[in-house]
Amino acid sequence: MVTKTKSSMPNPEDVYQTTLSNGITILARSNFNSPAVNVGGYLPAGALFETDDKLGLTDFVSSMLMRGTQTRTFDAIYNELETVGASLGFDSGVHNTNFGGRALVEDLPLLLKLLSESLQTPVFPDDEMERLRTQLLTGLALRAQDTSDMADLLFEQFLYADHPYGKPSDGYIETIQGITRQDLEDFHRLHFGPRGMVVAIVGAIQPKKAVEAVEKVLGDWAVPSQKESPALPPLKPLKKTVRKHHLIPGKSQSDLVVGTLGPNRKSPDFMAASLGNSVLGQFGMMGRIGSVVREKSGLAYYAYSSLHSGIGPGSWEVAAGVNPKNLKKALGLIDAELRRFVKNGVTKEELADSQANYVGRLPLSLESNGGMVSAILNIHRYDLGMDYYQRYESLIRKVNRADVVEVARKYIDPDRLVIATAGP
Amino acid sequence: MKKNITQVQLKNGMKVMLKEIHTAPIISSWIWYKVGSRDEVTGKTGISHWTEHMMFKGTKKFPGGLLDKAISREGGRWNASTSRDSTRYYETMPAAKIDLALRLEADRMTKSIFNAKEVASERTVIISEREGSENEPMFLLGEAVQHASFRVHPYHHEIIGDMADLRSITRDDLYNHYRYYYVPNNAALSLAGDFDTKSMLKRIRELFEPIPNGQVPPRLVRPEPERKGELQLTVEGPGETAFTQVAYPFPNATHPDYFPLQVLESLLNGASGLSYKTCRLYRALVDTGYAVDVSGWSESTIDPFIYRITMVHRPDKKPEEALAVLDAEIQKMQNELMPEAEIHRAVKQARAVFAYGSENITNQAFWMGYTSMFSDYSWYATYLNKLAKVTPQDVQRVAQKYFQPSRRVVGIYIPQGKVA
């Protein structure tokens, strides 16, 4: 029944890669199935550079980049984009400022021009800064009312105590109130530059043409004073389980996050941990956690586990939303599942199921230009090699039960967890 | 965008729509039932959505739990959702594995078990789903505004249903609902992806044609009378942020006014699927410091529904001040003709959004089935042309017709102050 289709996997032959003389790496792959193009990437201007009294500064800067440049106002920038149905946006994390956009391919030059201007010549107008500040403060007021956001915040605060990963990227009310225009300008001047920047383009354009288009607008960018990112400080391991509750009165549901540290993305433990996590709280209807908390006990609409693996120490966590009176019961069920997972690992059948899922779902995750941009950026960021997806199936298949139980025991100690809850 | 699709009606009345796309080794299959929250009477609200949940609990051939595993093992993605007008289930699979999805859907059209114990545990899951929604001020406000907008038409309640009904609906209520509405002549199957139409159709006939048809249930039709006079309401709850939601009447998706209103929407609130920082309301309310955010959206429905505009208020401005600015912008739409160039802009925006959507096979199968619930695929295929034919006069006329203060509902969420 299946007819011939071209390979949807990126590979060293069809992903064009080059580095400009100013240090910008460009990755490009064509896809002529739709007349559109996606752009994504990052540069190493992250919250690592923030001081505690200015938490949220990177986020503030990235949200200001499109609010006025030397040649265009906020309204003019968005008018150009929206008029042609294109989009562009920036956000930030601990390590990087990220960007992403899409357009019909005829409008790629416009998209890249606006990307370049926003990165190189933002002017941080006072009126726009104050408007954004009000929006950010409203966002923080809403966050304070969101049981899921507050449980996450509390979890990270205690899992990553005295570490940049434990600090909220959107800051606190006091820190956002204290950020000045000078802070924004200084941050941009010192940390934004081409060195370490990566741009990926996927869509209806020949890769070399895409590279030329990027080079035209970003090839001359030079920031000799661009600062190197500081190294991540060491992390203090948990000595015992920490249980914290954040009170939000008047809510009908509480959220919980239970977890511990996980491997980083480059760790040899990653694949076994990822497959183990799939069995624990992803596969089918949210894995074993979903089966116990939702299907068998009817306690929650969502209950799952997730593994967050990036540049630094990752996290391995279980999350659920439950009626406040069922909080204790749900935590008990999750505790028992974690103990079982660490004691017995996964069955042969469970592992085979998740392995099959990982291999089978690949075409789906790569079908859109946006999915492909994420995939090739990840390959680059974590040095996976452009032949990663050619090796992918064997990487998955070679994980065995012993590997999974070993990483489970290495990372998850049921007596040393962070248990964060938020609600009434 | 490829427009050629194959449409067939099986002998038992089931509609089938097929669209070959050979860009990736993927097939997406959707089955649609013409039943949604608008078919629910008082005392049974939420029953369509709950039935949807029960469809994942298994049949004799595909017992619960095994279903998820079978699909996931093949790398597939599946889910379901309930809307006001329809209930739909989809599987997107590696092309070679789609037969599993077809067998599963053919089987569970009539053979889902609805075990009483599982009904009981799903009751608390759905109550938990509703409690999660109730945590959100916007859900509470939106529910109140929707309810106030429909006194007569069954669009008045939320899809998830009222808590009272979620506590009292029985296993037999659910099973009867399922057997009544889940018949082939009340269903449509839409498939897009990497298949050969002829052999796919043969397989679909083998699996679905033997299912006997049933009596097509009549839809609940209780037209909403025209509102005479603005209705204002308030909702109080935790938090520090105030919101306002304004709901105007809005026509059904096949009404001639629908397309001029899409152009109006793009001008007033921005085009669907794009940022909206240069739409009139954003410029008038956010750029000038009257609100933190403003957004608006319509829905494509069988019967007339509502157009909603939501404002997130600044702590230093009163909701009434922002509402006055909103009114002034709407009056401008009613009093002045929009520039012709704005129509070209709306068409270009829609063209881009269509192009992005065409990258996704699941999305393409969705649109075939979705449009079949209130019209047919030509509605989708001619969308851009219909948009291009709209004139500034059309837009002014629909602005005057639908955006009257006396026909709207205005709801304000009043936060009860700082948290502990």
Q: How far is it, in rounded angstroms, from Cα A415 to Cα B129? A: 31
Å between A230 CA and nearest CA of chain B: 35
Q: Are A258 and A388 contained in the same domain?
A: yes
* Angle, CA B180 vertex, CA B174 and CA B182 arms, to 5°: 90
pLDDT reading at A52 higher than 70? yes
Give the mean pLDDT of chain B: 95
Residue in chain B closest to A284 (alpha carbons) equals B68
Let me know: does B364 contact B179? Beta carbons within 8 Å: no
Q: Are A210 and A267 contained in the same domain?
A: no
- Region A3-18: mean pLDDT is 77
Which candidate from A250, A367, A370 shows the least CB-CB separation from B361? Answer: A367
Residue with tokens 């009860």: B416
- Give me A390's structure tokens: 């050619």
Q: Are A290 and A198 contained in the same domain?
A: no
Q: Smallest Cα–Cα separation from B355: which of A105, A404, A415?
A: A105
Q: How far is it, in rounded angstroms, from Cα A381 to Cα A191? A: 19
Å between A168 CA and nearest CA of chain B: 19
pLDDT computed for residue B211 by the predictor? 98
- Give me B162's structure tokens: 């009222």
Which ranges of A65-180 would DSSP assign to H, the alpha helix?
74-83, 108-120, 126-143, 147-159, 173-178
Distances (CA, A) of B240 to A145, B237, B324, B412: 9, 9, 22, 13
Eight-class DSSP state of A59: H
* Angle, CA A419 vertex, CA A416 and CA A422 arms, to 5°: 170
Q: Smallest Cα–Cα separation from A256: which of A273, A269, A242, A244?
A: A244
- Give me A48's structure tokens: 């690592």
Q: Smallest Cα–Cα separation from A111: which of B388, B275, B167, B173?
A: B275
Question: Is position A228 within any domain?
Answer: no
Interface of B with A in 87-116 (CB under 8 A): 92, 94-98
Neighbour order of strands in the sheet with B291-297: B231-237, B409-415, B243-250, B305-313, B291-297
Question: Is position A234 within any domain?
Answer: no
Q: Tens digits of per-residue pLDDT, B120-130?
A: 999 999 999 99
Question: Is position A11 within any domain?
Answer: no
Q: With CB atoms and an 8 Å threshold, state whether A85 touches B350.
A: yes
Confidence of residue A232 (pLDDT cuts 50, 70, 90): very high
Q: With CB atoms and an 8 Å threshold, state whether B126 touches A301.
A: yes
Q: How far is it, in rounded angstroms, from Cα A307 to Cα A122? A: 36
Residue A11 phi, psi dihedral angles, 5° rounding: -150, 170
Contacting residues of A for B95, CB less than 8 Å apart: 1-2, 5
pLDDT reading at B286 higher than 70? yes
Q: With CB atoms and an 8 Å threshold, state whether B349 touches A145.
A: no
Q: How far is it, in rounded angstroms, from Cα B406 to Cα A207? A: 57
Last residue of a domain, one of A203, A218, A233: A218
Which candidate from A298, A299, A353 shows the least CB-CB separation from B72? Answer: A353
Q: With CB atoms and an 8 Å threshold, state whether A1 touches B199.
A: yes
Confidence of residue B64 (pLDDT cuts 50, 70, 90): confident
Give the mean pLDDT of chain A: 96
Eight-class DSSP state of A17: E
Å between B344 CA and nearest CA of chain A: 9
3-state secondary structure of B115: coil
Interface of B with A in 26-65 (CB under 8 A): 26, 56, 64-65
* Angle, CA A148 vertex, CA A144 and CA A150 arms, to 5°: 40
Q: With CB atoms and an 8 Å threshold, state whether B75 touches A75.
A: no
Å between A362 CA and nearest CA of chain B: 8
- B37 Cβ contact partners less than 8 Å away, ≥ 6 residues apart: B45, B46, B48, B49, B82, B83, B84, B154, B155, B157, B158, B159, B161
Q: Tens digits of per-residue pLDDT, B209-246?
A: 999 999 988 998 899 999 999 999 999 999 999 999 99
Q: How far is it, in rounded angstroms, from Cα A77 to Cα A25? A: 25
pLDDT reading at A6 higher than 60? no
Reported as type and span, the H/E element at residue A370 is helix A369-381
Contacting residues of B for A322, CB less than 8 Å apart: 128
- Longest C-alpha distance within chain B, in Å? 65
Confidence of residue B370 (pLDDT cuts 50, 70, 90): very high
Q: Are A158 and A250 contained in the same domain?
A: no
Å between A34 CA and nearest CA of chain B: 6
Q: Are A275 and A185 contained in the same domain?
A: no
pLDDT computed for residue B4 by the predictor? 80
3-state secondary structure of A79: helix
Eight-class DSSP state of A311: S
Last residue of a domain, one of A154, A183, A218: A218
Confidence of residue B420 (pLDDT cuts 50, 70, 90): very low
Eight-class DSSP state of B302: S
Let me know: does B160 contact B329? Beta carbons within 8 Å: no
Q: Are A158 and A260 contained in the same domain?
A: no
Look up the CATH number of the domain holding residue A318: 3.30.830.10
Question: Is position A181 within any domain?
Answer: yes
**CB-neighbour burial class of residue B170 (10 A; exposed 0-12, middle 13-18, buried 19+):** exposed
Write the single-letter amino acid at B127. I
- Count the helix, strand and coil residues of chain A and give each as a percent rounded to the nearest 5: 45, 20, 35
Distances (CA, A) of A172 to A153, A176, A424, B240: 11, 6, 22, 15
Mean pLDDT is highest, among B1-5, B22-26, B53-57, B342-346, for B53-57
Q: Are A206 and A249 contained in the same domain?
A: no
Q: With CB atoms and an 8 Å threshold, state whether A363 touches B278.
A: no
Question: Is position A229 within any domain?
Answer: no
Is the predicted ipTM greater than 0.85, yes or no?
yes
Lowest-confidence segment of A228-242, A342-356, B392-406 by average pLDDT: A228-242
Contacting residues of A for B350, CB less than 8 Å apart: 85
> What residue ranges define each of the domains in chain B, with the CATH number in brackets?
6-208 (3.30.830.10), 231-415 (3.30.830.10)
Q: With CB atoms and an 8 Å threshold, state whether A357 touches B361.
A: no
Residues paired with residue B187 on neighbouring β-strands, in sequence order: B33
pLDDT computed for residue B3 by the predictor? 53
Q: With CB atoms and an 8 Å threshold, state whether B69 touches A36.
A: no
Confidence of residue A2 (pLDDT cuts 50, 70, 90): very low
Question: Is position A1 within any domain?
Answer: no
Question: Is position A55 within any domain?
Answer: yes
Let me know: does A289 contact A274? Beta carbons within 8 Å: no
Q: Which domain holds residue A355?
A: 242-423
Q: Are A263 and A303 contained in the same domain?
A: yes
- B341 Cβ contact partners less than 8 Å away, ≥ 6 residues apart: none
Residue in chain A closest to B292 (alpha carbons) equals A135
* B350 in contact with chain A, both atoms CB, cutoff 8 A: yes
Which ranges of A160-262 would DSSP assign to H, the alpha helix?
173-178, 181-191, 207-218
Q: Tens digits of per-residue pLDDT, A300-339?
A: 999 999 999 999 999 999 999 999 999 999 999 999 999 9
pLDDT reading at B2 higher than 60? no
pLDDT reading at A42 higher than 60? yes
B273: left (phi over 0), alpha (psi -120 to 50) or beta: left
Neighbour order of strands in the sheet with A300-308: A242-247, A418-423, A254-262, A314-322, A300-308
Q: Tens digits of per-residue pLDDT, A125-177?
A: 999 999 999 999 999 999 999 999 999 999 999 999 999 999 999 999 999 99
A5: left (phi over 0), alpha (psi -120 to 50) or beta: beta
The half-sphere exposure of B89 on its side-chain side, counting CA atoms within 13 A, is: 20
What is the percent of chain A where pLDDT is above 90?
95
pLDDT computed for residue A1 by the predictor? 38
pLDDT computed for residue A8 by the predictor? 75
Q: Are A50 and A189 contained in the same domain?
A: yes
pLDDT computed for residue B295 by the predictor? 97
pLDDT computed for residue B1 by the predictor? 41
Q: Smallest Cα–Cα separation from B182: which of B302, B320, B88?
A: B88
Q: How far is it, in rounded angstroms, from Cα B266 to Cα B287? A: 18
Neighbour order of strands in the sheet with B15-20: B6-9, B15-20, B187-193, B26-33, B87-94, B77-82
pLDDT reading at A256 higher than 70? yes
pLDDT reading at A386 higher than 90? yes
Which candidate from A5, A302, A360 shows the least CB-CB separation from B74? Answer: A360
Which ranges of B109-193 would DSSP assign to H, the alpha helix?
116-134, 137-149, 163-168, 171-181
- Region B299-316: mean pLDDT is 96
Å between A222 CA and nearest CA of chain B: 31
Let me know: does B241 contact B412? Beta carbons within 8 Å: no
Q: Are A178 and A45 contained in the same domain?
A: yes
Residue in chain B closest to A37 (alpha carbons) equals B356
pLDDT computed for residue B208 by the predictor? 98
Q: With CB atoms and an 8 Å threshold, state whether B314 touches A353.
A: no
Exposure string over A28-41, b if 16+ CB within 10 A, otherwise e: bbbbebbbbbbbbb
Contacting residues of B for A302, CB less than 8 Å apart: 132
| Cβ neighbours, 10 Å, residue A418 | 24
CA dihedral A374, A379, A382, A388 (to 10 degrees): 140
Let me know: does B114 contact B57? Beta carbons within 8 Å: yes
Å between A249 CA and nearest CA of chain B: 7
Q: How many domains does chain A have?
A: 2
Q: With CB atoms and an 8 Å threshold, state whether B277 touches A89.
A: no
Q: Smallest Cα–Cα separation from B81: which of B302, B373, B353, B360?
A: B373
Write the single-letter amino acid at B77. R
Question: Is position A2 within any domain?
Answer: no
Q: With CB atoms and an 8 Å threshold, state whether B65 touches A284.
A: yes
Which candidate from A8, A297, A323 shows the least CB-CB separation from B25? Answer: A8
Q: With CB atoms and an 8 Å threshold, state whether B195 touches A358.
A: no
Q: Are A97 and A59 contained in the same domain?
A: yes
Q: With CB atoms and an 8 Å threshold, state whether B241 touches A285.
A: no
Contacting residues of B for A141, CB less than 8 Å apart: 239-241, 315
Å between B99 CA and nearest CA of chain A: 10
Confidence of residue B65 (pLDDT cuts 50, 70, 90): confident
Last residue of a domain, one of A218, A250, A277: A218
* B352 in contact with chain A, both atoms CB, cutoff 8 A: yes
> Would you mind telling me the total number of residues written for chain A in this entry?
424
Write the single-letter amino acid at B52. E
pLDDT computed for residue A92 by the predictor? 97
Q: How far is it, in rounded angstroms, from Cα A255 to Cα A308? A: 19
- Longest C-alpha distance within chain A, in Å? 63
Q: Smallest Cα–Cα separation from A239: which of A405, A409, A418?
A: A418
Reported as type and span, the H/E element at residue B80 is strand B77-82
* B68 in contact with chain A, both atoms CB, cutoff 8 A: yes
* B173 in contact with chain A, both atoms CB, cutoff 8 A: no
- Region A192-209: mean pLDDT is 97
pLDDT reading at B332 higher than 70? yes
pLDDT computed for residue A5 by the predictor? 42
Contacting residues of A for B79, CB less than 8 Å apart: none
- Give me A419's structure tokens: 């248990």
The half-sphere exposure of B321 on its side-chain side, counting CA atoms within 13 A, is: 15
Q: Are A145 and A294 contained in the same domain?
A: no
Q: With CB atoms and an 8 Å threshold, state whether B358 touches A85.
A: no
Q: How far is it, in rounded angstroms, from Cα A306 to Cα A15? A: 30
Let me know: does B51 contact B178? Beta carbons within 8 Å: yes
The beta-strand segments (E) located in B269-325 are: 291-297, 305-313
Q: With CB atoms and an 8 Å threshold, state whether A82 touches B24.
A: no
